[in-house]
Amino acid sequence: EAGVAQSPRYKIIEKRQSVAFWCNPISGHATLYWYQQILGQGPKLLIQFQNNGVVDDSQLPKDRFSAERLKGVDSTLKIQPAKLEDSAVYLCASSLMGLHNEQFFGPGTRLTVL
Amino acid sequence: AQKITQTQPGMFVQEKEAVTLDCTYDTSDPSYGLFWYKQPSSGEMIFLIYQGSYDQQNATEGRYSLNFQKARKSANLVISASQLGDSAMYFCAMREGDTGTASKLTFGTGTRLQVTL
């Protein structure tokens, strides 16, 4: 079974530029999560989708961050314009409902904003 | 108050020895789940073990076991017979609510484990 795919793995941009990250969850997983992990901290949820609907985006900085999950499969997270403090690893995860909802994580995208 | 607290920023353990990584949590929800993830330097989060709030027995998965003390709100990870490949960051996380609804994980700040020869 293929895992969660993310691209790109690394991205370096200047502040005020825009950037987009892509995630393809495990086939059949209805729930998709985007987490931000700043160096030295644990991951923090940005947004959670159930199929193509948003369940929780309370910690998403909506003035600059946006995300979509068209057709309930893969997802894109965008930052526009980027700030220095957005430098972090962006992790995508997916899960099935039921059992204990173990979340499977992708390899992450490491973003550096200069 | 922090929902998940990991008080050990770093730990050292000798190869073949056991090590305990501490985790305390705070929730008023009677139904919750506790997870431990391993994050090697490659960055990917690897699921290790899960404990549900209603589980009567402590969870075990191979060399990993979870010392669940509900009254003290602690969920410590025990790694037995440490191996060099166990060197990584370890995160404790909590899901609030029952398993019928998928909900976010709240993570602690992590413990960096270094296994030495």
Q: How many CB atoms are closer than 10 A to CB A55?
A: 16
> Do B23 and B4 touch, CB atoms closer than 8 A?
yes
Q: Which residues of B touch A103 (CB under 8 A)?
A: 35, 47, 105
Q: How far apart are CA A11 and CA A7, in angstroms?
A: 9
CB-based burial label for A96 (10 Å; 0-12, 13-18, 19+): middle
CA gap B56, B66 in Å, rounded: 12
> For residue B102, which residues of chain A lie inside 8 Å, CB to CB?
30-31, 48, 50, 55, 95-97, 101
Q: Could you read off the pLDDT tens digit of each residue along chain A, which spans 114 residues?
A: 689 999 999 999 999 999 999 999 999 898 999 999 999 899 999 999 988 889 889 999 999 999 999 888 999 999 999 999 999 999 999 988 655 668 899 999 999 999
**A50 neighbourhood in chain B, CB within 8 Å:** 102
Please, what are the averages of pLDDT over each run of 10 residues along chain B (117 residues)? 90 97 94 94 91 93 96 97 97 81 83 96
Instruction: Check residue B99 and give its pLDDT.
Output: 59
Amino acid, single-letter form, for residue B77: L
Residue A48 · residue A60 · CB < 8 Å: no
Give per-residue burial for B60-76: e unless 16+ CB within 10 Å, then b: eeeebbbebeeeeebbb
* Three-class DSSP category at B36: strand
* Residue bearing tokens 């920023």: B9
pLDDT reported for residue A99: 55
> B111 near A109, Cβ under 8 Å?
no
| Total length of chain A | 114
CB B94 within 8 A of CB B66: no
